[in-house]
Amino acid sequence: MGATEPDRTAEQAHSYQPNPALKRVERRFESVLFNSRWLMAPFYFGLVISLAVLLYKFCVVLWEFIVHAPGSKEADIILGALSLIDLSLTGNLILIVVFSGYENFVSKIDPAGHPDWPEWMTKVNFSGLKQKLMASIVAISAIQVLKAFMNIDTAFDPNKLGWLVGVHLVFVFSAFMLAISDRWGGGDH
């Protein structure tokens, strides 16, 4: 009796040997793809430069805050403090993206030589990164809405205020939906 059709197919699949030249091309291509992750490193360096620019802006706002504080009303002091908090949260957002992005997409960071590094810095997965980003964006948005409410006596623009509240609610809803989807999906991708 001859071999049946499924037996011949199994024999052919078992005896198949990939072309060594094609396998080398495949390995080189995969190596190029894998090493292309380093193209992201300049982006993270650019974000570090933007953090330095943000620090400069923080110092300017802090100086103006200090200089104008003696003659300012309480509401102006609160607005100045909110501006400083806003810049600080934006700086935190940049740091989260730089460290988590580098760790997740480019190369692992070795915290062994840096005992003062925060524990989260090398342990934020992509899901945690999304959550931290959305939380920071919601907080920054909330500060913008709060600043608009604090200025309601001097510059009331119902259209602008409506847009600020609407955009803030979209951010809150997005963060909520992201948290739900991460919880349902396991949250570790």
Is 12 contained in some domain?
A: no
Q: What is the pLDDT of residues 88-123, one digit of tens each?
A: 989 988 988 888 788 777 877 777 777 777 766 666
Mean pLDDT of 21-25: 83
Structure confidence at residue 87 as a pLDDT band (50, 70, 90): very high
Is 33 contained in some domain?
A: no
pLDDT at residue 53, as a whole number: 97
For the cut 80, the answer to whether the pLDDT of residue 26 exceeds it is yes
Winning range, highest mean pLDDT, from 20-24, 51-55, 122-126: 51-55
pLDDT at residue 98, as a whole number: 86
- Distance separating alpha carbons of residues 79 and 72, to the nearest angstrom: 10
Is 95 contained in some domain?
A: yes
- Distance separating alpha carbons of residues 46 and 35, to the nearest angstrom: 20
pLDDT at residue 78, as a whole number: 85
Which residues constitute the domain of residue 167?
51-185
Is 22 contained in some domain?
A: no
Is 93 contained in some domain?
A: yes
pLDDT at residue 36, as a whole number: 82
Q: What is the pLDDT of residues 152-177, one digit of tens each?
A: 777 777 788 788 888 888 888 888 88
Long-range contacts of 30-33 (CB under 8 A, 24+ apart): none
For the cut 70, the answer to whether the pLDDT of residue 3 exceeds it is no
For the cut 90, the answer to whether the pLDDT of residue 23 exceeds it is no
The total domain count for the chain is 1
At a CB cut-off of 8 Å and minimum separation 6, what does 127 contact? 182, 187, 188, 189
